[in-house]
Amino acid sequence: MENINELQSMKASGTSSIVRVSVAPSVYFKLDAIQKVQKDILGRLGCLACCSGWDIRFDLQRQFIVDEKLNVREIG
Amino acid sequence: MEPLSALGVGIVYSPSLEPLIEGEGDLINVLEIEPQHYWIKQSGHSPSYHLDDRAFERILHWPQKKIVHGVGIPVGGSLGLDDGQMAPFMESVSRLHPEWVSEHLAFLRADSPQGPYHTGFLLPPLQSLETVRMAVQNIRQFKSNLSVPFAFENAPNYLRPMPQELPDGEFLARISDEADCGILLDMHNLWCNERNGRQPVRDVLASLPLDRVWEIHLAGGDDYRGYWLDAHSGLVPEKLIELCFEWFPKLPNLKAIIFEIIADYITAKSIDIETLLRQLQVLQELWKCHGRNAPDTLDDKVNLCPAREHRDLPKPVDWEQALGLLVNKRPPRNDLQVRLSDDPGIGVLQQLVVSVRSGMFVDLLTLSYRFMVLHLGEASVWEIMEAYWNQTFPDPFAAEEARRFAEFIRDRELPVPHLNEVLTYEVASLESLKTGKETVVDFSCHPVTLLEALSVGKLPDQLPLGRYEVVVQP
């Protein structure tokens, strides 16, 4: 996936066996592979409870889960 | 008051709608900004809110005039205006230079023995004379902070009219007259209300001081269990458009027509750009006809007879407490709450609250949600969500709600290996975006393998263990 390819591995810190990986949070917001929509971080952290529309994000999210054979299937 | 500028046709701004603004600039003359979406809330900090400069910079990039439509300081509640939001709201106004400002004639907080709480959705006030006085006081207070004019928006109301309540149109007319303010007339809300058993649209319009209508909202809706919802989910119904062509010539002071659509629906319903273009063109035709048949003088003002308060109506504070509890699925505790709980409209409001709370979860803790569902199944995850909702009232700010829910999930110690790490990573990502600071998250497995798999909605085939630190960089 394009966004995960942007992750960079860094050197293990000192003599410890810990591996450090740098990630930009906007990367994981950038592309939702399942919904194939550009997710823009702007406006998502703010007040979303106050509008009077019908929020369908949950319905959209639950529609698709990829099974082990990479077939997209409805889960409900 | 200085005459307002005629702005034309516009949309409610969302970053997701920028391709539409970019492509159809001639058809979009004005952008309506709901500023609270672009604030960052930092609990425990003072001030609690600050403006997201990235968002405001991006909004100001667009050449269209702006109007500001608040979504967090409604004027219909007995608790008054949310003082904590006034300063960031005024700052938003000063940055956006709107011609006017509007807010909802609704309430968003209710009182309780533990103090005020957020109800999770804008709720309709009781239509009584006491509410009129209260709303007028709130509007006057709002206006005293502003250097631009103020208008209130009529809310959708999925509840049955209470006996002896003021009729919908008279309620709006009294408030606008006594507060001396404008009306943002949401025609689709009136349409929903009529379809759902409330006052017919024409009767509401006949009650209104039409010269106070400065702005119109139009939207599409959807059917839910026999109710027509103001879902902002598509095109404006044809019959509503016809009604608008009949009435907009009578609106002498109309300054803007705003189309409301939630971007997610454009994808979900495969609404193509041509269809949206045609919708905007129809609204431009509506714009051209406004005010043509308006009376030359204001002598045709609606006469509001002195009204007598009906003693059987509940007090606004009791109404708010009743609705606030019921829409959040708390059991009714008194006669009013029992009576209201019989109204099927309560079920609609409950579902609206649930839709927002569940939407926040999957939007901001996306990978955690998928991880939980893949391990535990949908039904179990839904039970966990319901348990959280039963224990907490909503936080209207998405990032705060996500953070709290993540804590709740962690405390449950679910049998999902590495779930806490994914939760921590997602919360850290939000924090990093809010603060602009780096955060470090420990993983006991290969984070890239896990996160990559969840990003495509599956569990990793193999998950190497080890000690990792994920540096989340803003």
Higher per-residue confidence, A76 vs A24: A24
- Name the closest residue on chain A to residue B348, using Cα atoms: A54
Residues A39, A40, A43, A45: what is their CA dihedral angle, to the nearest 10 degrees? 70
Min Cα separation B306/chain A (Å):
32
Task: Examine the domain organization and report whether B29 and B127 are in the same domain.
Answer: yes
**CATH assignment of the domain containing B26:** 3.20.20.150
Asked if A46 and B41 come within 8 Å (Cβ–Cβ), the reply is yes
Side chain identity at A72, as an amino acid letter?
Answer: V
pLDDT by residue for chain B (474 residues), tens only, comes to 567 899 999 999 999 899 889 877 689 999 999 999 999 887 777 778 889 998 999 999 999 999 999 999 999 999 999 999 999 999 999 999 999 999 999 999 999 999 999 999 999 999 999 999 999 999 999 999 999 999 999 999 999 999 899 999 999 999 999 999 999 999 999 999 999 999 999 999 999 999 999 999 999 999 999 999 999 999 999 999 999 999 999 999 999 999 999 988 988 898 988 999 999 999 999 999 998 887 655 544 556 666 667 778 999 999 999 999 999 999 999 999 999 999 999 999 999 999 999 998 998 899 999 999 999 999 999 999 999 999 999 988 888 899 999 999 999 999 999 999 999 999 998 888 888 888 899 999 999 899 988 988 889 999 999 999 988 877
Please judge whether A24 and B457 are an interchain contact, meaning their C-beta atoms are less than 8 angstroms apart.
Answer: no
Nearest to A48 among B155, B356, B452 (CB): B356
Q: Is B62 on the interface with A (CB under 8 A)?
A: no
Chain B nearest-CA distance from A55, in A, is 5
Burial B37-57 (b: 16+ CB within 10 A, else e): bbbbbbeeeeebbebbeebbe
Which residue of chain A comes nearest to B353, CA vs CA?
Answer: A49
Q: What residue numbers bound the domain in which B27 lies?
A: 8-289
CB within 8 Å: B355 and A55: yes
B285 plus B370 within the same structural domain? no
Picking from B289, B319, B343, the residue at the C-terminal end of a domain is: B289
Which site among A2, A55, A73 would you substitute to test the B interface, given the most B Cβ atoms closer than 10 Å to its Cβ?
A55
Instruction: Output the pLDDT for position B309.
Output: 73
pLDDT tens-digit series, residues A16-75: 567 777 766 544 444 444 444 445 666 677 766 555 678 888 888 877 665 545 555 554
Asked, for residue B421, whether it belongs to a domain, the answer is yes
pLDDT value, residue B431: 86
Distance from CA of A1 to the nearest CA of B (A): 7
The last residue of a domain, from among B289, B314, B335: B289
pLDDT value, residue B354: 94
Number of folded domains that form chain B:
2
Examine the domain organization and report whether B54 and B141 are in the same domain.
yes
Q: Do both B83 and B177 map to the same domain?
A: yes
B370: which chain A residues are within 8 Å (Cβ-Cβ)? 65
Mutating which of B12, B16, B56, B85 best tests the A interface, going by the most A Cβ atoms within 10 A? B16
Is residue B121 within 8 A of residue B60, CB to CB? The reply is no
For B51, the closest chain A residue by CA position comes to A46
CA atoms of B202 and B199, how far apart (whole Å): 8
DSSP-derived pairing of the beta strands B227-229 and B222-224 = antiparallel
Question: Which pLDDT does position B399 carry in this prediction?
Answer: 86
Contact A68 B367 (CB under 8 A): no
Q: What is the pLDDT of residue B253?
A: 95
The whole-angstrom separation of Cα B418 and Cα B232 is: 38
Structure tokens at B444: 């006991």
- DSSP letter assigned to residue B180: T
The rounded distance, in Å, linking the Cα atoms of B171 and B253 is 21
Find, in chain B, the residue whose alpha carbon is nearest to that of A21.
Answer: B470
Instruction: Establish if B88 belongs to a structural domain.
Output: yes
What stretches of A1-76 adopt beta strand conformation (E)? 8-9, 19-23, 31-32, 37-38, 65-66, 72-73
**pLDDT score, position A2:** 32
**Per the domain annotation, does B280 fall within a domain?**
yes
Question: Residue A6 has what pLDDT?
Answer: 40
Instruction: Write the CA distances from B47 to A59, B44, B91, B262, integer angstroms.
Output: 35, 9, 13, 30
Q: What is the pLDDT of residue A29?
A: 47
Same domain, residue pair B265 and B373:
no
Q: Which of B268, B425, B448 sits opposite A56 (nearest CB)?
A: B268
Token digits for B127? 């239509």
DSSP strand pairing (A72-73 vs A65-66): antiparallel
Choose the mutation target among A2, A15, A34, A50 for the interface with B, i.e. most B CBs under 10 Å. A50
ipTM: 0.87
Contact between A57 and B362 (Cβ < 8 Å):
yes
The rounded distance, in Å, linking the Cα atoms of B58 and B344 is: 42
Contact B457 A65 (CB under 8 A): yes
- How many Cα atoms are found within 13 Å in the side-chain-facing hemisphere of B63? 7
